[in-house]
Amino acid sequence: MNIPGIKGYSRENFKTVIAMAWPAIVESFFVAFAGLVDSLMVSRLGSYAVAAVGLTTQPKFMGLSLFFAVNVSVSALVARRFGEKQREDANRIFLTAGLFVVSAAAILSILFVTAADPIIRLCGSSHETASDIMTHNAAVTYFRIIMGGMIFNCVQMVINSAQRGAGNTRITMRTNVTSNVVNIVLNYLLIEGHFGFPALGIVGAALATVSGTVVSSVMSILSIRGKDTFVSIPYIFANRLKASSSAFVSLVKVGYGIFFEQMLMRIGFMATAVMAAKMGMDSMAAHQVGMNLMGLTFSFGDGLQAAAVALIGRSLGEGDPDRAREYGRTCKAFGIMIACVLILFYFFGARWLMSMFFAEPHIIDIGVSIMRVIIFVVLFQIIQVIYMGCLRGAGDTLYTAFAATMSVTVIRTLVSWIGGFVLGFGIVGIWLGVLADQLSRFIFASIRYRMGKWVKIKI
């Protein structure tokens, strides 16, 4: 049945997308919202603390790049096996991925904690003034704590990815929402010290973040203890499943492109962050808040992307490419509606949003200038994220890696440098690089999606 007035969309598929997407959107939104609240609560310590947290963002995500790649692989493969009704193979893939993630997370955690100081220096931290030294030391401390607890984050991510692939987005929503509520509550208690808790400053913010991931990892493990869930610990033990080389090869086949995409993207993001740091602490602080606000926008696209990966993987597993295409179109339609609302909110609320974080008028003015660019970023960002999700769900990860590398590592970095330093636009010039990145990714993804070859890929 087609929806009246909307050609080519069925009521059933709209309902399916809504049911699948809203928990993923809520989950992703709360993750981004927790980051925004972190910055808001840390901002009470001073703009140096906001800048310090900002310095840790890109190296943290670079450390998680490998796990992002594994997670997308797990979600796409479990979704495909779900459609093919191959539960045993899906659980074997999950077991193989889980063992790999635990081992890799333990090793990388030690490396990042040990090398925290030079890593933060590489991200643009300097020692020119007393304020710079304070910012650097705070960033190193924060980075060591969150990377020391990264294994909990990695465990919950791989389980939640498998759950999304099987269509259980509500479970992943509950774990992440609970995690972020814990994070926010502990931020309140530990940053400034309330109800008898010690005032730990930025250390308290880091401990709150890690505590939230500990809670979410426990909840995620508990979510797969049932015998009837598609991905199930009892099922793995009952059938004596073991990690296999064939499952690992499948993960690598889907994920290696995403891994290189993530790494090269992070190099581009890192270059942008370093350029922002060179603009001074005030600009870096405003830049960090702008990135957090853009993260809220990304959360909507990310939620729809999670739905697209699961639904498209399932449809292709069932041999129904037409339904896969319609799911992609439906996710895009929702994304456009959400983008229009966000554009209006950011346009009229820019100064109010920035005044929540900063009391200094000149930093608020910098933030408002950044928000004016974000307004243009929003529409391209949400749609390209959804399209990229459709392509990844089908296994077209090499192309998405190429598109992201060209957009983030090359175009974003080049335009940011020209705008920020050559043309002298400062931090706004760097955000013009962000806009160029999102626009180019939108163009790359749109062209590939409309060609339609992605529905024929076998994984």
140-161 pLDDT per residue, tens: 999 999 999 999 999 998 998 8
- What distance in Å separates the CA atoms of residue 400 and residue 365, rounded to the nearest whole number? 36
pLDDT value of position 335: 84
- What distance in Å separates the CA atoms of residue 362 and residue 408, rounded to the nearest whole number? 29
Token readout for 265 is 């993207």
Kindly list the averaged pLDDT for each block of 10 residues, start to end, along the chain of length 459.
46 74 74 73 78 79 84 85 86 92 94 91 72 82 92 92 81 82 90 88 90 93 86 88 86 79 78 82 83 81 76 77 81 85 91 87 91 90 84 77 86 93 91 94 90 73
Identity at 279, one-letter amino acid code: M
Helix (H, G, I), strand (E, B) or coil at 10: strand
| Total domain count, the chain | 1
Compute CA distances 306 → 65, 82, 112, 167, 183, whole Å: 17, 15, 29, 10, 23
Q: Cα torsion for 146, 149, 150, 152, to the nearest 10°? A: -140
Helices 130-148 and 87-114: crossing angle in degrees, nearest 10, is: 150
Q: Tell me if 110 is assigned to some domain.
A: yes
pLDDT value of position 10: 66
- What distance in Å separates the CA atoms of residue 64 and residue 251, rounded to the nearest whole number? 16
Of 353, 360, 375, nearest to 37 (Cα)? Answer: 353
pLDDT value of position 5: 38
| Alpha-carbon 14 to chain mean position | 25
pLDDT value of position 7: 46
Q: 156-183 pLDDT, tens per residue?
A: 989 988 988 887 777 777 887 888 889 8
Give the angle subtended at the CA of 217 by the CAs of 213 and 218, to the nearest 5°. 120
The model's pTM is 0.72
Beta strands in 27-165 (DSSP E): none
Q: Tell me if 128 is assigned to some domain.
A: yes
Of 306, 367, 282, 331, nearest to 36 (Cα)? Answer: 367
- Spatial neighbors of 406 by CB under 8 A, at least 6 apart, are 440, 444
Q: Which long-range contacts (CB under 8 A, 24 or more apart) does 284-287 make?
A: 284/51, 284/54, 284/55, 285/43, 285/47, 285/48, 285/50, 285/51, 285/54, 285/357, 285/358, 285/363, 286/354, 286/358, 286/363, 286/366, 286/367, 286/370, 286/427, 287/54, 287/370, 287/427, 287/430, 287/431
- What distance in Å separates the CA atoms of residue 417 and residue 269, rounded to the nearest whole number? 12
- Spatial neighbors of 380 by CB under 8 A, at least 6 apart, are 435, 438, 439, 441, 442
Q: Tell me if 1 is assigned to some domain.
A: no
pLDDT value of position 369: 93
pLDDT value of position 251: 86
Helices 47-63 and 281-317: crossing angle in degrees, nearest 10, is: 30
Q: Tell me if 2 is assigned to some domain.
A: no
**How many residues appear in the chain?**
459
Q: Tell me if 3 is assigned to some domain.
A: no
- The residue segments making up the domain with residue 355 are 11-456
Q: Cα torsion for 121, 124, 129, 135, to the nearest 10°? A: -70
Q: Which residues pair with 2 in a beta bridge?
A: 10
- CB burial of residue 302 (10 Å; 0-12, 13-18, 19+): buried
Q: Tell me if 371 is assigned to some domain.
A: yes
